[in-house]
Amino acid sequence: AQKVTQAQTEISVVEKEDVTLDCVYETRDTTYYLFWYKQPPSGELVFLIRRNSFDEQNEISGRYSWNFQKSTSSFNFTITASQVVDSAVYFCALSDMFSGGYNKLIFGAGTRLAVHP
């Protein structure tokens, strides 16, 4: 069964600390996509990254980096030198390519990150 587990419910850090948000997934598909979304207090889920299962290169975008490891079915997200504006709920999601006839996304439960000044 397709499943996404974000074991960390809440994380609290002080500004400038590095923080890693964990994401572990289960899938029967050989081709799949992984995503991270950010949900600030305003409510909208904002797309951060999409990763194809065939591309295991890690990615860095400014203070954000993602570590994709197929061997451990993990797609972890690290924020370097965290800032108060990073406070949000972060969701990891997995594509379900072959059920239902549409591009289904399976979301994890989310990790609430609080960055304190």
Partner 1 sequence: ETGVTQTPRHLVMGMTNKKSLKCEQHLGHNAMYWYKQSAKKPLELMFVYSLEERVENNSVPSRFSPECPNSSHLFLHLHTLQPEDSALYLCASSQERTGVNYGYTFGSGTRLTVV
> By the criterion CB under 8 A, which residues form the site for partner 1?
31-33, 35, 37, 42-47, 50, 91, 93, 95, 97, 100-105, 107-110
CB of 73 to partner 1, least distance (A): 17
CB of 23 to partner 1, least distance (A): 14
Report in angstroms how near the CB of residue 97 gets to partner 1 at its nearest.
7
CB of 108 within 8 A of CB of 4?
A: yes
C-beta closer to partner 1: residue 12 or 16: 12
Residue with Cβ nearer partner 1 (38 or 80): 38
Question: Token match 């570590």: residue?
Answer: 67
Listing DSSP states for 59-116 in one string gives: EEETTEEEEEEGGGTEEEEEESS--GGG-EEEEEEEEE-SSTTS-EEEE---EEEEEE
The least distance separating partner 1 from the CB of residue 31, rounded to whole angstroms, comes to 7
Where is 36: in which H helix or E strand? strand 33-39
